[in-house]
Each structure stands twice: as C-alpha cells, then as structure tokens.
Amino acid sequence: MSEAGSHSHVCAHCAREEERERTVDMRSRYVVAVVGGTAFLLGLLSQYVGAGVVYSYAFLLVAMLVSGRWTIPRGLRGAARLHLDTNFLMTFAAAAAMVIGAPTEGAAVMFLFFIADLLEHRTDRVVHREIESLLALERPTVTVKVDGAEVCMDVEEVEVGSVMLVRPGERIGLDGRVVAGTSSVDEAPITGESLPVTKGPGDDVFAGTLNQEGYLEVEVTRWSDDTVLARTIKLVRETEEHRAPTELLVSRVSHMYTPVVVALAISVSAISALLGTPLVAAVYRGLTLLVISCPCAFAISIPVSMVSALGGAARSGVLVKGPEYIEHLSRTRTVAFDKTGTLTQGQLGVEGVCVHDAGSEDEVLTAAASLGQMSEHPVSMAIADNSRERGLTLSRPAEFRAVPGKGMIGRVGDERYAVGNLRLLDEQDVAVGRDHMCGVGTSVYVARDGQHLGTIILGDQTRGESRETVQLLHRMGIRTVMLTGDNEHTARRVAEGLGIEEFYAGLLPEDKVAMVRQLRKEGAVVMVGDGINDAPALAAADVGVALGAASSDIALEAADVAVMGDDLRRIPAVIDRARRTMRVVRQNVGVSLSVKVLLTLLSIAGLVGLWVAVLFGDVGLTLAVVANAMRLVRAGPATNSPSGTA
C-alpha cells in the first residue's frame, strides 16, 4: 500500500471512529436525561402523595447526581485547580441547596443545567452531520482495470494513472479524467450543480459524484487523500478547530467572571445574614444569585451561532474554514474579483462578426469554421462551437495549410480562403484598412480569393451570473473592484458590461497583492479568484474566496472560503449569511446580559427564588439563545434579497 493511501486509510478510520464515539456520547446523554428526569419527577410526586421526606429527598438526590454526571466532576476538578467555571457554579449551587433543605431546587438546578448542556451538544452535531454525509460519499472500494482484467481494490491502494471502471448507478470513488464512455454525472454533492453534467473523454470527474446512465472508464489523477471530497471533509473539520475573535473574548471574560460571581454571592449571603435575614434564607439568596449569574447562555451564544452558520453555509455549497471568517465577512466593504476564470468563463467565444465587401455573417463563419475543423487551436474551436450553435453546415476543406503564428489557408468548395491575423492577410496581399476596428477582443480576419469578407471578434465570455452578482453586492452597499492581468481595453469592456465600479489592468500577482493591501486601508476586503496567480492576493485579503474548489488546488489552500461550484451568487449569499449571523450573535449577547442584570438585581433584593432563576435566568435563556441561533442552519442563501449594510 502506498504511503499516501495508508495515510488516507488511517484518517478515514479515525474519522469514523470519532463519529462512533460522538454517537455513543449523545446516546449516553439521552439516557441520563431520561433517568435524571424520571428521578426528578418521582421526587416531586413523593412530596405530593405524602410518601415521606426521605423518599422525596432520595429521588431528588439521585436526580441531582445523575444529571451532574459530567458537570460535577468537571466542577470539582476546576475547583482543585482554582479554575472556577460554570460547572463549579452549578455544582456548588446544587450541593448547597441540598444542604440547606431545598432539595427540589438543588435537583432542578442540576437537571435543567444538564438539559441546557444537552442542547448545546445537540446543536454542535450540525457540523458533524455534514461530515457524516460527506463521509458517506466515500467509496471504500473501486473496480480497476489491471492487465485487461477487472480487480476490486480499496481506494487507498489505487495508484495515480490506474483506470477505474464505473458502471451506471455507481458512485465514483476517486478523482480522475474520463478516457472512454459517455454519461451524465450528478455532481451536486461536490460542486452544488443541481443538474447532471454530461461527461465524456477528456472531462474531469470527482470522487463522491454519482454516475447515472452510462459506462465510464476513468484514469485516476489523485490519490485517495487528495481528492476534492477528501479536501472538502478536511475543510469542514477545520471549522471546529478555530474560534472567532468575539468568541475568544467571551471565553476569557467568562473565566474571569466566575470568581467574581462566587465572591458576590458569598457577600450577598453574609450581608443579608448580618442585616437580620435568617441564615437559611440568606444562603438561599446567595445561591439564587449564583444560578442567575451562571454565564451558560452568554457563553454559548456565540459558538452555537457560529456552528449553525457554518453548517448552513456548508449545506448551500460554501465551505468556510473557521468562524473567524464569518466575522470578517460580516464587515465586508469591498469585494475584489479576478477576471479570467472568475468573472469570465476563461474560454474564448464569438462576440460579433463584422461583414465587409458584400460578405455575409454565415459565409464568414462557415469558411472560418470549415477550415478550423483541421485545427485544435482554441480560436478555431470557439468559432466552430458558435457555428454549430447557429446551425451552419460545415464542409470538409479540399486543401488545408496551417501558417504557424498567423492562421490557416485552404479551399472550401470552389473558393480559396485565408483565415487569421493581419500578418497573414498582408502576406496574401489582402487589403485591410489600418484603422479597421470591429470591436474589442481577438480579431480573426477572413478573406476569399484576395478579398476581405469580414472579421470575427472573439473574447473571454462572462459568466451568466456575474452581472447579477455585482448588482447584489451593490444593493448590499459593497464596493466592487476588478483586478486583472489583461490589457486595459479588455478589462474596461468587461467591467463596464458587468457594472463594476473600478478596475485595474495589467497586474502581475505581486501587483494584485499590493492593490488588495491598499484596498484594506478603506475596510475589510474579500478577494475572489480561482487560479494559481490569484493565491497571493487571496492570502493577503481579509477573506480569500476560491471559486470552484474543484479546479484550483493552490487557490483552495490559500483561500479562507471555498465555493463548491461556479456560481458567483453564492458570494453575496455567504456575506449576507455572515451579517445575519453577527446580528443573531449581538441579539443573543444583548438579551443574555439584559436578563442576567435584571434578575441579578431582583435576586439581591430577595424578590426571586431559585426556580425563577433556573427557569428564566438559565434554562429558559439558553433555550432562547439556541433556538435563535438554529435559525441560521435552516435559513437559505438570500441571493435574491440580500440585507442591507450591517
């Protein structure tokens, strides 16, 4: 087995083992919820049916201990290290309530805190489910052609250059290039493309996609741990390893906050007792303050929102490498686009035909396309594609001669044609005015028997959604800029056609980096690109976005966000999602702090008890925070109605 294959096998095994452990952990938490909840209800029931204080206390003590299965050990370990956290607050409050003769409140504190913790873990499963769904796309084995025979092999053992056999209905196991056969392939899991894509010889296919009706032979181009699917899984996993700046701040505040709250609770109890409040009531008042001050909802408000946003973005085909980039995206002021392959399709297309000397568009295109059948030059292929779209009938040239660097000469029917650049027409003594200009782009001149018939103008075709994307960004109050290495005439034509406000042409990769740094002085910059030459600029921006993660390794590595398809409209959608996420974060933090402050003041005055503190100040608030954050998972991309500025 190859080193790469062995590494992939170990990673896949570890990933599945981690998922099994998480599943077991969640099941054990559900068991604790059932047992703890049952004991709590039996404790309450014992009080009402007159079963006796001992039975009631025993059931409530069991409810507290079972519900504190994870909280109590963590709280005690933290106290031993003088690291007082939320777990210590709940453990101390529940235990003290039991001691002072308030077992119902003590059990309620621990059980309801456990329910809040369970909700947090349940929410965290959002991203894990995304990983599980991606792992389900990985085929453990593939059929490979070896010495003319079919051999079933583990994907980790298949070497680059091997030929896979993919039958109808099978999932493609590794990235590769079709060498034989034609079929439709469902690429939705990888690129987000909703319609099946026709694949034939020379086309790339990706691991995790589904072959539909045809038979394909595919030459493997990547090791199993380097496929687009494997890198996608890696990106999703990386989202769990990062924390947003705001989340880090809240975490630091929470750790400093807990000792202060404990000291305040002790002070409230002591002062109340000194002022004549009975000891039990004074302690109860301090415990109430402890529970109210528990920063549970406040602490989870940001991570829950971020995890929900990341999961929702992944479902819509956008992978964000970490929650910190959600914050950066929400502050976007400028989006800078590369041109070729990003705003445009990166391939030539016919943009117009100028007719001269009694020629016709059909004749000009037919002559150029007929001769172009003998050439594999991108210009010839673009003209041939346009001719087929127009339904023109092409003829086989009777004569053909390629003139390197200039064009081609040949006979179609009874006529002799020259197709190429101005130098070719000069050699053929064909008169073309020096001020001749039919448009901006690549000009292909067509002459018949020494007479200039017309000129075909070709250019890099813009993506169908490029203009809509620019308009969406403008409606969101975001400035758009195009950075390109192309000439100024072409750049101006593309920018004006798409409605882009600014463009900078003739840029080398280092020039793009300098422009991005300049733009960052005016606010957060998102850079969108797809090629190797875009990687430095992607890394220099506040957020780098790789368009078409299936096509550019270096751009994907340098980027912070990967759009798993070629739809530019997902960029304003993910910015809009980031803005909504930060609004939810601000709502959650604001509500949490407001409720905590209000209940704290009421508890100091002795106007609220432990039940109110638990139901409203802890569990109720946590439920509200989680429910508000979970909207970010369900909310789809708002490409048609983006929000305004944040």
Tokens of 46: 């014992």
Q: For tokens 């993919």, name the residue.
A: 166
Those residues whose C-beta lies under 8 Å from the C-beta of residue 191, and which sit 6 or more positions away, are 206, 317, 548, 550, 564, 565, 566
**Which secondary-structure segment (H or E) carries 80?**
helix 71-80
Please report, as a single letter, which amino acid is at residue 397.
Answer: P
Task: Annotate 20-43 with b (16+ C-beta within 10 A) or e (fewer).
Answer: eebeeebeebeebbeebbebbebb
Q: Does residue 225 have an active-site annotation? A: no
Burial of 59 (0-12, 13-18, 19+ CB in 10 A): buried
Q: Would strands 332-338 and 524-529 be described as parallel, antiparallel, or unpaired?
A: parallel
Those residues whose C-beta lies under 8 Å from the C-beta of residue 341, and which sit 6 or more positions away, are 530, 531, 547, 548
What spatial distance separates the first Cα and last Cα of the chain, rounded to whole Å?
Answer: 53
Strand partners, 445: 420, 455
Strand partners, 462: 344
Burial of 213 (0-12, 13-18, 19+ CB in 10 A): exposed
Catalytic site residue from 338, 460, 566, 618: 338
Phi-psi region of 242 (alpha: psi -120 to 50; beta: other; left: phi over 0): beta
| E strands in 511-642 | 524-529, 543-547, 561-563
Tokens of 304: 């829950």
Q: Would strands 176-180 and 479-483 be described as parallel, antiparallel, or unpaired?
A: unpaired
Report the 10 Å Cβ neighbour count for 433: 8
Calculate the alpha carbon distances from 596 to 165, 287, 290, 305 in Å.
63, 14, 11, 20
Report the 10 Å Cβ neighbour count for 360: 12
Sheet of 183-186, strand order: 197-199, 183-186, 210-211
Task: Annotate 255-276 with b (16+ C-beta within 10 A) or e (fewer).
Answer: bebbeebbebbeebbeebbeee
Own/partner contacts of 380-385, CB < 8 Å, gap of 24 or more, are: 380/408, 382/347, 382/348, 382/349, 382/350, 382/458, 383/350, 383/444, 383/456, 383/458, 385/349
Q: For tokens 């975490």, name the residue.
A: 251
DSSP code, position 156: G
The answer to whether residues 327 and 244 touch, using CB atoms and an 8 Å cutoff, is yes
DSSP string of 388-415, one letter each residue: HHHTPPP---SEEEEETTTEEEEEETTE
**Residues known to be catalytic:** 338
